[in-house]
Structure 1
Amino acid sequence: MLSVDVALLLGVIVVLRLRRRTESRSRNDEKMTVLIVLLLGVLIAPTPFGQWMRDVLGRLVHGVAGISF
């Protein structure tokens, strides 16, 4: 699937961008990182891995919401 290959590439780019020091980032650099992460999410969402991740997060949120403090 082409979207998985592009998603993998964007995932590597996100990891490399987030490893940099935060003090040296400009506002435009931060906006670019957010845009890349959103695009990565759009590419992962329709894949089986994205569906699995959505199901796991949904169960986790449902479990946490059921806990009363």
Structure 2
Amino acid sequence: MTKASELREMNDEQLSFALQETQKELFQLRFQAATERLDAPSNIKRLRREIARIQTIRRERELSQQNNA
């Protein structure tokens, strides 16, 4: 799990890549859960929170750019 401070240090491209990778991993975990092969169900919650963190940081940057313009 990456911390919000670590995510804030990333540029926009890195954040987009991290979001895509996290979403792919979440999809795979959900697929495993559907086929009853999931080892740690807590990982789904962890990934959902990480996706939310990334989206929040992206939104903060978007709002700050609007305010500066």
Is residue 3 from structure 1 mapped to residue 15 from structure 2 by the alignment? yes
Counterpart CA distance in 1 for 2:30 and 2:37 is 12
Unaligned runs of 5+ in 1: 52-69
Counterpart CA distance in 2 for 1:17 and 1:24 is 9
Aligned to 1:35: 46
TM-score (norm 2): 0.54
**What's the RMSD between the two structures over aligned residues?**
2.0
Percent of paired sites with the same residue = 4
Q: How many residues align?
A: 47
Moved over 4 A (4+): none
Question: Which amino acid counterpart does residue 11 of structure 1 have in structure 2?
Answer: Q
Unaligned runs of 5+ in 2: 1-11, 63-69
